[in-house]
Chains A and B, each alone.
Chain A
Amino acid sequence: MRTAVSDRLAAAPPIVLPRADADADATGGGQLRVLVAAGVGVLLGAVAVTLKIQDGSHPAADTALSAVSGALFLAAGLLAHLRRPANGTGLLMLLVGAGFFAEDLQLARDPALFTVGLLCTHASTPFVVLLVLAFPAGRLPSRSARLLTGITFGTVFGAALLGGLFVDWAERIPGKPADLLLVADSQTVAVVSGLVVEAVGVAVAAGVVGSLAYRYRAGAHGLRNPLAPALLIAAVTGAASGLASLAGSDSPLYPALLGVYRVGFCLWPLAFLLGAVSWRPARTAIADLLVAVGNPVAPAELRDLLAGALRDPELRLARWHPRSARYLDTAGRPVDPAADRTTVTLAGSTGAPIGLLVRRVPPWEDTRLTDAVARLVGLVLDNQRLATEAASRLAEVRASRARLVSLADRERRRMERDLHDGAQQRLVIAALSLRLAQRRLPPDADPALAAQLAQATADLTAAISQLRELARGIHPALLTDAGLPAAVHDLAERTPLPVTLTMPALPRLPAEVEATAYFVVAEALTNAVKHAAADRADVHIGLTADRLRVEIVDDGCGGASLTPGSGLAGLRDRVRALDGELTIGPGPAAGPGGAAGCPAGTGTTVRAEIPTG
C-alpha cells in the first residue's frame, strides 16, 4: 500500500534547501577576535588620550570629544557583540574605535610609536566605511560594497605608507620624532598622495551615501525604521566628510563641516547600537515564533506570525498538496518562485519538501535567519500535517470499527433469521412427522422400534430447543423487535437470580448501541451466575443526552476480569469500537447480604458507557 508520505516523496519537486550557514564560526572564533580587538582598543584609547594631554596643543573639549567618540565605539561594539554574538557589527565597531585611537599615536614622541601612528593615519575611515556598508548584518552584502571597502582600505593605508616613506615630518614640524620608515622626503609624493586621498574620500563618501540611500529606499518596509537613525547619521556624516574634502581645509565652511562630522561620528556608535539592538535579531524572531507555535496555529495565522516576525507583510507560505501536485498558499492559490523574492523550501522531519516560504530577503540579512525559520516552519507544518493525518486516520479507524460492529450485528440478525426460517421449521416438521409415525405404529410393533422412534423424537425436540437458545444467543429477536428494555426484562426473567431492574422508558437507539448494551448485561449476568455464585444482581440503565449507561452490580465472589479472551474483554472491545468504555470494579460492600462463602467487600460492578450518537 502506498502511503501519503511515499506519494509526497515521489511527487514533490526537488528544491535546493537553504544553504548552510556560511559564517558558523562567528560565535566561536569570533569571541577571541572580539576580546583582542576590545583589549587593543582600550589600550590604544588610554595611550591616545595620554598622548593628547601630554601634547598640550589640543583644546580640552576636542580631547574629551575624541575620547568619548572612541570610547563609545568600543563600548557599543562590546555591547552589540554581547547582544548578538553571531553578528559581526560588534567587532567592526570595536575596530572603528581602535583605529580611531590609533590615529592619535602620531602625537607620540617615541619614534616607533610615532611611525606606527603615521601608518594609522585616517585608520578609522576604512573601518567606518566597512561598518556602515556591512550594517546591520555585520557582513558586506554585495560585490560593490566589497569593492568600495577595498578601495578605501587600499587608499587610506597606501597613502599612510607613502607618507611614512616619503614625508619627513621631523623636518616639516619642529619637535616631531624621527620617522623610522623614511626613505626620502618628497613634496610631490605628499601632494599627490593628499590629492588622491581627498578625491577618493569624496568618491567613497558619495558611494556610501548613495548606498545608504539605495538601501533605505529598496529595503523591506520593516527594515526602514530600525535602520533609520544609523543610516541618517551615516548619510549626514558621510556627506559632511565628502563636502569637507571637496571644499578643502581653506574653505570657510570647513570648520563647520568638520564639526558636523565629528559630532556625527560621536553619535554613530549610539545610533548603530540602537539599530543593531532594535533590529529584531533572528533569535528573537525564532523565539517569538517558537512561543507562538506552541499553541496550535491555523496556516493563515502562521503566515501572519511569520510576516510579523520577518517584517515582510507580503510574505507567502505555501504547502505542498500531493493531490494537485502543487504548492498552494493559505488562500489556496498556487505559489511560484518570484524573481524579486527568495523562495525557500520547507522540509519536514523526513527531509521531504512539504512547503514553500516566499519572502523578500534583505541583502544584508543573516542567512541563519532564513535557515532557522525555514526549519522551524517546516517542523510546524510537518507537525500539523502529521496531526491532521493522524486525526483523519483515527476517525477512519473509529468509523470502520463502528461499521464492523454494525456489520457483525446485521450478520448475526441474518443468521438468527435464517435459523428461524430454515433449520428450525424443517426440524419442527421432522419432529411432527416422527411423532405421527410413532402414533401409526401398530400395537404389536417391535418394542425396540417404538423405543427408537421415541428416542429420536426426544432428541429432535432437544435439538430444536438447543437451536432456539443458539439463535437467541446469536441475536435475540426480542431486541430487534421490541428494543432494549424488553430484551433486558427478558434476560432478567431468564437469569436464575433475583434481578432488580432500574431503567427509564427508552426510545429506540441505534441497533449496534442496543445490541452492545444487551450483550454487556447478558455477559455480566452470566458471570454473576456461573462464576461469582451471586445471590442477586441489580441492573441500572440510564440515558443521558448522548450516552447510554449500563451498570450491573452483583453480590458474588467477584473474579470478573478483562483478561484477553474473556467474554467481558471482547465486549469491552465492542464498546470501545463505538467510542465507549467498559470497566469492571468491586461491588458495594457485600456485608451480611453477600453470597455465602465470599469475603466481605467483594461483588462485581460492570459498567459500560456507550455513545448514542
Chain B
Amino acid sequence: MDTPITVVLADDAVLLREALAGLLSGAGFQVLAQAGDVAGLRRAIAAGRPDVVVLDIRMPPGHRLEGLHAAVEIRREHPEIGVLLLSQHVESHYLPVLFGAGARGVGYLLKERVAGVDAFLDAVRQVAAGGCVVDPQVIGPLLRARNGADPVATLSDREREILALIAQGRSNQAICRQLVLTGKTVETHVRNILRRLDLPPEPDDHRRVLAVLRYLRPWSEETYRAGLPPTPT
C-alpha cells in the first residue's frame, strides 16, 4: 500500500481512543487527529480531510446522539469522506438517518467489534473505500422470524446467511471468500434472494444494501424521524 489510509478518531473515552489509534497506526493507517467532542472533530476534518472518520455515537456535551448528527453532517458536506459510527448499541432505527440517500462510504458497528482487530480493520478499509458495513447485530433481528407470509421465511438457511452478508455490505466476491463458495453459486443465490424479495437486482453494492434494509425494515421513515431530537444546524 503506497499511501496510507488517513483516519480521524472522535471519542470522548480517551483510553479507548488511544488504544484505537495505536491499533490503527500499528496496522499501517495514518491517524491524522483525535477529537474528544464534535467541535474538535469539525476542526480536525477541516484541517486534514481524512479518508475515513471513526467516531462514537455518544459524545459531549449531551452524550445523546451528537456522534450520529456529526456523521450525517460529514456525509452531507463531505461525501468523499467515509464515516464509521461506533456505538454500544446498534439500532436499526438510526440506519435511515445515517444512510440518508445512499449507503456509500458508511459503516455502523458495535464498539466492541474493535477487539475483533482484523474484521475491524477490514471494516475501516471498506468504509474508506466507499463501501458499506452494517453490524450483524443489526441484521440478525431483522432476519429473524417474521410473520408466516413473509418471503424471508421461505428462504433457505444458506440464502438467509447470504442475505445477512448482503445487508452488511459484502460484495459477491467477499461472500464467496467468506462462505467458501464458487462465484457462480453465490450469484445464483443472490439472484434467487432478490427475486423472492421482489427487490431490483442492483449491481452496486451499497444500493443493494439499501434495498435490502428498506425491505427488512418496512416501517416508514417518518415514524422514527419523529422520535429523533432535532438535528443541530
Distance to closest chain A CB from B224 (angstroms):
5
Q: Which residues of B contact A498 (CB under 8 A)?
A: 145-148, 150
Cβ contact within 8 Å between A461 and B64: no
Q: Which residues 145-165 in A have Cβ within 8 Å of B in the complex?
A: none
B117 A485 Cβ-Cβ under 8 A: no
Counting CB contacts under 8 A, is B122 at the interface?
no
Minimum distance in angstroms from A596 CB to a CB of chain B: 13
State how many angstroms separate the Cβ of A458 from the closest Cβ of chain B.
Answer: 11
Known: A481-B65, A482-B93. A468 touches B88 (CB 8 A): yes
Which stretch from B33-41, B166-174, B225-233 is at the chain A interface? Answer: B225-233
Is A102 at the interface (CB under 8 A from chain B)? Answer: no
Tell me the smallest distance from the CB of A609 to a CB of chain B, in Å.
21
Q: Taking CB as reference atom, which chain B residue is nearest A417?
A: B63
> A436–B117 contact, CB under 8 A?
yes
- Tell me the nearest residue of chain B to A476, going by C-beta: B89
Chain B residue at minimal CB-CB distance from A434: B115
- Residues of A within 8 Å of B141, CB to CB, are 493-494
B142 within 8 A of A: yes
Please indicate the chain B residues that have their CB under 8 angstroms from the CB of A428 in the complex. Answer: 16, 111-112, 114-115
Nearest-CB distance from B213 to chain A (Å)? 12
Which B residue's beta carbon lies closest to that of A479?
Answer: B227
A484 / chain B contacts, CB cutoff of 8 Å:
227
Is B46's beta carbon under 8 Å from chain A? no
Given contacts A478-B91, A484-B227, contact A432 B147 (CB under 8 A): no
Establish whether residues B227 and A486, one from each chain, have CB atoms under 8 Å apart when the complex forms.
yes
Q: Which residues of B, 168-225, contact A by the 8 Å Cβ criterion?
A: 219, 222-224
**Most B C-beta atoms less than 10 A away, residue of A477, A501, A508:** A477
Q: Does A483 touch B at the CB level, under 8 Å? A: yes
How far in angstroms is the closest Cβ of chain B from A151? 98
Report if A482-B224 is in contact (Cβ < 8 Å); known contacts: A436-B23, A477-B89, A489-B93: yes
Which residues of chain B from 76 to 117 have a CB within 8 Å of any chain A CB?
Answer: 88-89, 91-94, 110-112, 114-117
Q: Would you call the interface of chain A mostly helix, strand, loop, or mixed?
A: helix
| Cα-based distance from A476 to B90 in the complex (angstroms) | 11
Q: Which residues of chain A have C-beta atoms less than 8 A from B223's C-beta?
A: 485, 489, 503, 505
A125 at the binding interface (Cβ < 8 Å)? no
Q: Which B10-62 residues sit within 8 Å CB-CB of chain A?
A: 13, 15-16, 19-20, 23, 58
Q: How far is B115's CA from A433's CA once the two chains are assembled, in angstroms?
A: 8
> A126 to B92, alpha carbons, bound, how many Å?
107
Pick out which of these stretches binds chain B: A53-61, A190-198, A309-317, A418-426.
A418-426
B89–A432 CB distance below 8 A: no
Closest to B93 in A: A486
Verify A421–B13 contact, CB threshold 8 A. yes
Across-interface contacts of A472 in B (CB, < 8 A): 89
Residues of chain B contacted by A536 (CB below 8 angstroms): 147
A439 near B: Cβ within 8 Å? Answer: yes
Q: Closest approach, in angstroms, between the C-beta of A430 and any C-beta of chain B?
A: 8
Interface string of A495-507 (1 = CB under 8 A from B): 0111011010111
Name which residue of chain B comes closest to A463, CB basis. Answer: B112
Q: Which residue of B lies closest to A424 (CB)?
A: B88
Q: What is the CA–CA distance of A266 and B92 in the complex, to the nearest angstrom?
A: 105
A345 CA to B88 CA in the complex, in Å? 70
Which of these, B65, B142, B147, B148, contacts A500 with CB under 8 Å?
A: B147
A449 at the interface (CB under 8 A from B): no
**Interface contact B111-A482, CB-CB below 8 Å:** no
Task: Answer whether residue A457 sits at the interface, using C-beta atoms and an 8 A cutoff.
Answer: yes
Chain B residues contacting A167 (CB-CB under 8 Å) are: none
Q: How far is the CB of B158 from chain A (nearest CB, A)?
A: 21
Residues of A within 8 A of B111 (CB): 424-425, 428
Smallest Cβ distance from A466 to chain B, in angstroms?
A: 11
Cβ of B110 to closest chain A Cβ, rounded Å: 8
Closest A residue to B226 using CB positions: A505
Contact digits for A107-131, partner B, Cβ 8 Å, 1 yes 0 no: 0000000000000000000000000
Q: Are B117 and A477 in contact (CB under 8 A)?
A: no
Q: Which of B20, B88, B227 contacts A508 (CB 8 A)?
A: B227
A232 contacts chain B at the CB level, 8 A cutoff: no
B228 partner residues in chain A, CB cutoff 8 A: 482-483, 486
Proximity string of chain A (430-472) to chain B, C-beta cutoff 8 Å, 1 when within and 0 when not: 0111111001000000000000000001001100110010011
- Return chain A residues, CB-CB under 8 Å to B114: 428, 431-432
**In the complex, which residues 373-432 of chain A have their Cβ closer than 8 Å to any Cβ of chain B?**
417, 420-421, 424-429, 431-432
Q: Which residues of A contact B222 (CB under 8 A)?
A: 505
Interface flag for A21 (CB, 8 Å): no
Is there contact, CB below 8 Å, between B229 and A429? no
For the complex, what is the distance from the CA of A472 to the CA of B141, rounded to whole Å? 15
CA distance A426 to B226 in the complex (A): 34
Q: What is the distance, in angstroms, from B216's C-beta to the closest C-beta of chain A?
A: 9
How many whole Å from A540's CB to the nearest CB in chain B? Answer: 14
* A351 CB, nearest partner CB in chain B, Å: 60
A495 to chain B, nearest CB (A): 8
- B117 close to A435 (CB less than 8 A): yes
Instruction: Confirm or deny: A7 has a beta carbon within 8 angstroms of a beta carbon on chain B.
Output: no
Question: What CA separation (Å) do A481 and B15 show in the bound complex?
Answer: 25
Q: Are B88 and A420 in contact (CB under 8 A)?
A: yes
CB under 8 Å from chain A, chain B span 129-185: 141-142, 144-148, 150
- In the complex, what distance in Å separates the CA atom of A25 from the CA atom of B208? 104
Q: Which residue of B lies closest to A477 (CB)?
A: B89
Residues of chain A in range 487-540 having any CB-CB distance to chain B below 8 Å:
489-490, 493-494, 496-498, 500-501, 503, 505-508, 536
Contact A496–B145 (Cβ < 8 Å): yes
Complex Cα distance, B219 from A507, in Å, reads 17
A487 to chain B, nearest CB (A): 8
B116 CB contacts on chain A under 8 angstroms: 435
Report Cα–Cα, A496/B16, bound state, in Å. 34
Q: Does A480 belong to the interface (CB within 8 Å)?
A: yes
Measured in the bound complex, the distance between the Cα atoms of B28 and A571 in whole Å is 53
**What is the minimal beta-carbon distance from A467 to any residue of chain B, in angstroms?**
9
Rank and list the top 5 A-B pairs by shortest CB-CB distance, nearest first: A483-B227, A498-B147, A431-B115, A505-B226, A493-B141
A-B contact list, 20 entries, CB within 8 Å: A420-B88, A424-B112, A425-B13, A425-B15, A425-B16, A431-B115, A432-B117, A471-B89, A478-B89, A481-B229, A482-B93, A482-B229, A483-B227, A485-B227, A489-B92, A490-B93, A505-B223, A505-B226, A506-B226, A507-B226
